[in-house]
Copies of this chain bind each other. A is one copy, B any other.
C-alpha cells in the first residue's frame, strides 16, 4: 500500500490518493483531517472558528472541488452570513493554513487531505465525475524546479493541475463506446 513517498504521519486515506476515485470509508477522510486541522490551527495561534470549521467540513464532504458561491449557499442556509466575503474569507483562511487548496482550472476549492505536511501537490481532476485527487507530486515538483533553475528562475508557488479521466469513468466510457 505504501507505494508513494509519503509521511506515515499522514492520516487515513490520505496516503492512498486513488481513494478519491473509488469507494471507501469516507469518515476517515473527514474525521482525521478535522482533528489535524484543529491541532494545526492551534499550533499557529489561529482560530478555527465555527464558519471556518464548517467550510472545511463542507469541503470534506466528498472529493470534489466547490466554488466559493456553492460554499456560500450552504453557509447561508445554515444561518451564517450570505455575502461573498463570508465564504472567501473562510476559504482564504483555510488555504493560507494549508487546510484547503485552490483549483484554478475550476475556480474552486478542495479540502487538503494531508494538512501539516509540506507538499506541493498535483491535482487530477476527472472531467466526468468531477472528483479531484491530490497526487504525490514530489518528482513532478523536482522536475519543475530543475526546469526553472535552468532559467535562473526561483519558484515560490506553483499549481499543477491535470484534467482527464479517472479509472472508473475511463472504464465506463470504454464500455459505452
Assuming the contacts A135-B147, A144-B122, asked whether A155 and B166 have C-beta atoms less than 8 A apart, the reply is no
The distance from the CB of A18 to the nearest CB of chain B, in whole angstroms, is: 4
Which residues 117-138 of A have a CB within 8 angstroms of B?
122, 124, 126-127, 133, 135-137
The answer for the CA separation of A92 and B127 in the assembled complex, in Å, is 20
Taking a contact as CB atoms under 8 Å apart, the answer to whether B166 and A153 are in contact is yes
Contacting residues, chain B, for A12 (C-beta < 8 A): none
Contacting residues, chain B, for A21 (C-beta < 8 A): 151-153
Assembly stoichiometry (copies): 2
Cβ of A154 under 8 Å from chain B: yes
Write the A149-167 contact mask toward B (1 if CB under 8 angstroms, else 0).
0111111111111111111
A140's contact among B135, B143, B165, by CB below 8 Å, is which? B143
Taking a contact as CB atoms under 8 Å apart, the answer to whether A159 and B105 are in contact is yes
Number of A residues with CB within 8 Å of any CB on chain B: 42
Taking a contact as CB atoms under 8 Å apart, the answer to whether A164 and B148 are in contact is yes
Taking a contact as CB atoms under 8 Å apart, the answer to whether A154 and B158 are in contact is no
The distance from the CB of A63 to the nearest CB of chain B, in whole angstroms, is: 12
Assuming the contacts A105-B159, A143-B143, A159-B159, asked whether A154 and B148 have C-beta atoms less than 8 A apart, the reply is no
Assuming the contacts A3-B150, A104-B105, A150-B3, asked whether A144 and B155 have C-beta atoms less than 8 A apart, the reply is no
Taking a contact as CB atoms under 8 Å apart, the answer to whether A163 and B157 are in contact is yes
The distance from the CB of A88 to the nearest CB of chain B, in whole angstroms, is: 16
Nearest CB in chain B to that of A167: its residue: B152
Taking a contact as CB atoms under 8 Å apart, the answer to whether B133 and A151 are in contact is yes
